[in-house]
Structure 1
Amino acid sequence: MTTHLSPGRHTTHPGSAVPTPSVPTASVPTPAVAGPSVVAPAATLGPAPTSLPERAEPAAPDAAATAPAFRPNAKYVLLLGMMCALPAISNDIYLPSLPDVARDLNTSATAAQLTMTAMMVGGAMGQLVIGPLSDRFGRRRPVLIGVALHVVTSVLCALAPSILPLIGIRVAQGFFNAAATVVAMAVIRDRFVGADASRLISRLMLVIGVAPLFAPSVGGLIAGEVGWRGVFGALGLFGVALWLVVWRRLPETLPPERRRDGGMRTAMSGYRRLFRDRHFLALALMPGLGNAVLMSYVVASPFVLQEGYGLSAHEFSLLFAVNGLGLVGGAQVNAALVRRVAPIRIIRVALPLSVAFTLGLLAIAITGWGGLAAILVALWLVLALVNLAPPNASALALSRHGEIAGTAAALIGAIGIGVSAVISPLSGLLGGDSVAMAGVMVGAAVAALLVLAVATPAYRRGGAWAA
């Protein structure tokens, strides 16, 4: 039996910048999302079973039902998308310069690649620190400071005299870039929950997915004209432009009365609360495992397609862009689906399909059936599904802890970076061929499905509403 769900309508309290969903009129109690005066829309969770424990909070005043809804326009989505994409752009625009860095600084290729890893390590640490700070001081101040320091570190990278200072500065750059990503996700949770949050995150994927596709080409052009140091100059200019747009266009979404007082002890109490919530941790793991499927492809595909199947660099770049369109298209399909289907229901279908498609890819890689054409079709189908589960899992995880949205977004991001950093290099260690790539993708997809089945009630009776 198919259940048709319609999205809840968002309203704004008079005098408050934080919209809250209108109160459903159903007679069955609906669980409320933690956070001041925010009640999860019936569209997101569906009718709640009577046995489900309530987490209800005071309902919004009747006057709020007539207030205008906040509707994010294209400029708002673009701003949040560029904030989320800042770390990816900072790495991808620099990719073509790695051989030049190794040659110019008289170091090895491995040491040059460490400048990429260093930024990921810095990003994971930055998310964990900046998330609680955004719950304490609001959203605008941390992101403005973080993006400003991105500009400073970009200039310092351009001036680096040797590889060791460059690695250290890249750690710092990743740390400060994390402010943009954490705040963007926290801003979404401040204003949206459930299906509406998932739909907005999916729209962000259009920006997050497209920007890195062009970043290597832009970086290669810049490096070819002015050298690798000019790439960091361009990153600095991009940071200046982003800072100005954030300063002018990003409103404060966390009013003073909702901010958390205290220092490190308060931050640690927030993380302790999150780690005690097994359901949250399960949902927070899924974006990382989905990203591990994607990163396994990104890391291994140059060797698989160019060395294994003999594609030229130009042909590989074209196919990489086509697969990128699959990624972006999948996210937009999800944005349309969540208008009528609850996010947890999408996850329950998307993850088994992901396992089936990755197993098909592995079978083609082992048997060689269909040759290059079959590999490319299977890859496209796998990648088109990658962005269906993560936006929904992130939105559901954030909805459980709206009162510490910055801390929750930070932990989701840090887990995602950590999981993908551990899993994605495995394809190279296992041989770097198509079988190794597909095997790692199967492992990540199966792990995501097991987490959903074991650590959440998604496949249990009533699980479509309990999530």
Structure 2
Amino acid sequence: MADSKVQPRMGNTGFIIFLALLSAFVPLSTDLYLPALPDMTKFFAVPEIVMNLTLILFFVFYSIATLFWGPLSDRYGRRPILLIGLTLYMLASILCGIATNAYEIIIFRVLQAIGGGVATTVATAVIKDVFVGRKQETTLAIVQSMVVISPAIAPVIGSLLLTFISWRGIFFAQALLGLSVIYGSIIFKETHQAENGTTSIIRSFGRLGALLLNPGFTALLVTFSLMSIVSLSYISSSSYIFQDTFHLSSRMFSLFFSFNALGMLLGPLVYIPLSKYIDRFKIIYASFGISIIAGVLVLVFGQMSPIAFAITQFPATLASSAIRPPGTYLVLKQEENDNGSASALYSAGGTIFGSVGMVIVSIAEATPIAAIAWINIIIGASCAVLLWLSLTFLKKKITV
């Protein structure tokens, strides 16, 4: 880290924790209230698909918002944009907590998504501002390994909160999370010099299109964003699978969910030492293969019991998580400038494709386990083919 970019009021450890909290906004904004989804569905007396819109639309608008926050952070700097977005997130969380019907929840979750969209985009851009080369890749892995702790502990915390308070308190907890990260943004030292005032906002947003015209960037963006379908389809359907299909309590659901979230934690941690000795592309292809194998296992054994489903899904969770550090590094490596815009497109790509996975499992609510299995198989195979095609036909246009 260059001396001029050291965080004097945070320190290096505090800086990494701050980046991890920012990167964890999506899982914390979803997984914390996952145990409450079935109860909220009954409380408001609405169909399951209506309450699932609080998840689906969150990811849709989150992805749209990142496309705005990224270029704005390139033009005005990371810190002021963070403060604006996180303040909106905190206020929207409070509104969710006082909502009187399911449709208000949906609207306020959209506002939450718009505000929270600033977090992941800016966190990734800041890492690229500060670190280079392998240090950048390992920092991404470290931050993402810390990030995936949140899916492991968030449902547990959520289910514990539900024993003392109603689902409304969970949204107030999210507001407190927003407040804590706002404080971090206040003491955060800017890592990106704002653009010259003569640069128009339209020109800043135009960089998104310019990036998409880079064939290497776009090919890898699509390939690695597709894997979000695997993780987010599981996240959005897990509470219904464990609580409605297998008839477990919200607390037992949180324990099973935490087991699979352990795979999210181990993925980046496994990748770091392996990448010292094994080419990153071999690890990536192996991860795609593991996702396919896991899908077959879920299809054959997953419906037998909650334990069987959790164990057979675990390899797919591990594989999709292990791909994140090299995938993020390779996508951002294709563009050495416009860090905010590149990070925005990468965040948007993952959430857009992830939302597709959530819609698929919502439509297939009668057979969610089979849907998860086929998603693992089809996405794993598709990503392997897309990566091979990209490296074969765009070899001279892809920076590794």
TM-score calculated relative to the size of structure 1: 0.75
1:384 shift after superposition? 2.0
SS in 2 for 1:253: coil
TM-superposed deviation, 1:167: 1.6
Match status 1:130 vs 2:69: yes
Using the alignment, how far apart are the partners of 2:303 and 2:60 within structure 1? Answer: 40
Inter-partner Cα distance in structure 2 for 1:359 and 1:111: 31
For structure 2, the residue ranges without an aligned partner over 5 or more in a row are none
Q: Is the 8 A contact 2:145 2:268 kept in 1?
A: yes
Separation in structure 2 between the aligned mates of residue 377 and residue 278 of structure 1, nearest angstrom:
38
Rounded to whole Å, the distance in 2 between the matches of 1:416 and 1:436 is: 19
Tell me the CA shift for residue 398 of structure 1.
1.5
Q: Deviations over 1:287-329 (max 9, x none)?
A: 4222212223334555666677777765554333222222211
The residue aligned with 1:43 is none
Report the 3-state secondary structure (helix = DSSP H, G, I; strand = E; otherwise coil) of the residue aligned with 1:387.
Answer: helix
| Contact 2:260 2:314 (C-alpha < 8 Å) held by counterparts | yes
Gaps of 5+ in 1: 1-9, 20-71
In structure 2, what is the Cα distance between the partners aligned to 1:306 and 1:165?
25
Distance in 2 between residues matched to 1:127 and 1:274, nearest whole Å? 15
Deviation at 1:179, TM superposition (A): 0.9
Asked if 1:17 corresponds to 2:5, the answer is: yes
> How far 1:366 sits from its partner (Å)?
4.9
1:89-124 CA deviation, whole Å, 9 max, x = no partner?
122222233344345445444322222222212211
Cα deviation, 1:238-272, whole Å, max 9, x if unaligned, reads 21111112212x2211124x668533421332012
Return the structure number with greater helix share: 2
Residue 252 (structure 1) aligned to one of 186, 190, 194 = 190
RMSD: 3.2
Q: Please, which of 351, 354, 365 is the counterpart of residue 420 of structure 1?
A: 354
Q: Which amino acid aligns with 2:235?
A: V
Letter in 1 for 2:379: A
Q: Which residue of 2 aligns with 1:444?
A: 379
Distance 2:35 2:196 in 1: 43
Q: 2:74 and 2:203 mapped to 1: Cα distance?
A: 10
Q: Which moved more, 1:332-341 or 1:234-243?
A: 332-341
- The one-character-per-residue Cα deviations of 1:408-452 (angstroms, maximum 9, x if unpaired) are 100111111011111344345455254432211111111211221
More off after superposition, 99-108 vs 369-378: 369-378
Alignment of 1:11-90 (within 5 A): 12=2, 16-17=4-5, 73-90=12-29
> What SS does structure 1 have at the residue aligned with 2:258?
helix
Q: Hey, what does 1:271 align to over in structure 2? A: 208
Which residue in the other structure is 2:259 paired with? 322
Report 1:190-339 matches (<5 A). Answer: 190-248=129-187, 250-256=188-194, 261-301=198-238, 316-339=253-276
Q: How far 1:336 moved relative to its partner?
A: 2.9
Higher CA-based Rg: 1
Query: For structure 1, which segment, 155-164 or 73-82, has the greater mean C-alpha deviation from structure 2 after superposition?
Result: 155-164
Task: Report the count of equivalent residues.
Answer: 396
Deviation at 1:361, TM superposition (A): 3.0
The 3 A distance-change label for structure 1 pair 150 and 82 is: same
Give the share of equivalent positions with the same residue, in percent.
25
**Aligned-partner Cα distance in 2 for 1:377–1:100:** 26
Bigger mean CA offset, 180-189 vs 416-425: 416-425
